[in-house]
Amino acid sequence: MTIGFRSLSKLVVPAVTNLYCVSRLQISTLKMTDNNPDYKSASSIHEFTVKNIKGEDVKLDVYKGHVCIIVNVASQCGLTANNYKQLNELFDHYGESRGLRILAFPCNQFAGQEPGNSEDIVCFASERKVKFDLFEKIDVNGDSAHPLWKFLKNKQGGTLGSFIKWNFTKFIIDKDGVPVERHGPNVDPTNLVQHLEKYW
């Protein structure tokens, strides 16, 4: 049986393309592994690299010497309005005077309440005059969870298991990059002040 050139191209090109995509995926996976330590052996968030909302790599050692709050956020949650408002207030009050840094990670794992892409999230944050640091949307639970979040959960387990229960779980990080406290979604950001004061 003779196969024409066009027919052969239809068979070969997709196969080569798929192989190329798989190769790129493997390279990307290896790169992520190289950039981040094993979460079980890491001692500080400063060892990790994440992507900001623009897709740019950010080495978290830029936060050395700063007390930080790391929080998973969503734009369509019943807790959204209050948390964004109070996180803004915290940053306005303590960003300059105390060096507080807030690292917000959008996540769509809870009832699909962060469905948008990066551009949507940036628009949402801009409308609320967000000044704190916003990062690329990630998973916080399961095998696909970002290594940083595996590390956070390993260092500060939660009630009934270390997994993240809902949007707006908050981790306090001391100046050395060590997760020192974990607070659930029901804790208002402004109620963290008395806890943050221990680490200024």
Residues involved in catalysis: 77
Q: Residue 122 to residues 48, 118, 128: CA-CA distances in angstroms?
A: 23, 6, 10
Dist CA 190 CA 172 (whole Å): 13
Mention every residue, 6+ apart, whose C-beta is less than 8 A from residue 174.
67, 180, 199
Cα separation of 156 and 140, whole Å?
Answer: 14
Sequential DSSP letters for 136-161: -----SSTTS-HHHHHHHHHS--TTS
Euclidean distance between CA atoms 126 and 14, whole angstroms: 41
Scanning the structure block, which residue is given the tokens 């964004």? 84
- Dig out the tokens for 146 from the structure: 């970002």
Which pairing describes strands 101-106 and 68-73: parallel, antiparallel, or unpaired? parallel
SS3 for 52-78 is: ECCCCEEEHHHHCCCCEEEEEECCCCC
